[in-house]
Amino acid sequence: MPSNNKATINRRMFSVGLLLICGLSLIFSSVLAHSSAVDKLTSDEVVAKHLASIGSTEDIAAAHTRVATGATQARLRLTNTAVELSGPAQLASDGDKFLLAMVFQSNNYPHEKASFDGENQVIGVLTQGGRSPLGNFLSSQPSLMKHGLIGGVLSSAWPLYNLAKRNAKLSYSGMDKIDGKPVHRLKYVPRNTGDLIINLYFDATTFQHVRSQYEYVVSARQGGVAEASASQRDTRYKLVEEFTDFQATGKLMLPHTYTIDLTIEAPNRTQTMQWTINLQQFAFNETIDPKVFKG
């Protein structure tokens, strides 16, 4: 084959290869640009998409009272022996008012009840006196009930329905993963909450609120014990709310499974508690006696 033909073929092959490389580079750059754009969502954009995933502004506002009832399954490991209990559960809300109640056939743990009447929160006391670990957590962190965080979108008090009236700062914290699925994370900071860390998670595709996570640490030296040993460890508290099984409910898209996980890592032991509530019935705009929220 003449050398000039070889040169022509080589030039053509080079041109094709160059076009292929340029094409791949453009595709790769486009993917990166899209990924970067997703990563740089603002908190306002996430909130707007999140609210749209629930329903229209008018439909959300119209559901000013909500009552959801179902059954709960509790799995408690406070010692080496795990305990399983079951019973009815109810969530009720009216504006900023909220109630979470679970009832169990147990003398030691007959119920779990926490409510907020718009001004004060009431945490149920057990038959033998004192509160449950969940009750103690909520009692120690009153901003969770005051800001309407507990119960997520199931509650009419959910702060993202009307963030402007909440004295809190909301910021975008990037992407994360839950069970292998990408989620957007927002950091929620109410005023005067001390060391409490609050993160809210939203499905990257649907923008449904799928998790709230609350964490704080009690130092081993807290309380002015100057002689505390360096070997002592802090006590770590973590409460996680999970929201799954979203279904059209009335005119809203709401989760029908609500799970609460509480982990307490103390120096001498770790306690884990889980309550899974399967909600079966929903009612909207019914009159709720204000006394319900006063304990």
Which tens digits make up the pLDDT trace of 18-51? 443 444 344 344 433 334 444 579 999 999 999 9
Give residue 288's identity as a one-letter amino acid code.
I
Q: Of 237, 190, 186, nearest to 211 (Cα)?
A: 186
- The average pLDDT across 75-95 equals 94
Residue 111 or 4, more confident: 111
Query: In this predicted structure, what is the pLDDT of residue 39?
Result: 57
CA Rg, the chain, in Å? 26
Q: What phi, psi does 36 have (nearest 5°)?
A: -65, -40
- Residue 222's pLDDT band, with cuts at 50, 70 and 90, is low
- Residue 213's pLDDT band, with cuts at 50, 70 and 90, is very high
pLDDT in tens, 121-171: 999 999 888 999 999 999 999 999 999 999 999 999 999 999 988 989 999
Predicted TM-score of the model (pTM): 0.84
pLDDT in tens, 247-263: 999 999 999 999 999 99
Residue 7 or 70, more confident: 70
* Class of the CATH-defined domain 42-294: mainly beta
Q: What phi, psi does 84 have (nearest 5°)?
A: -120, 130
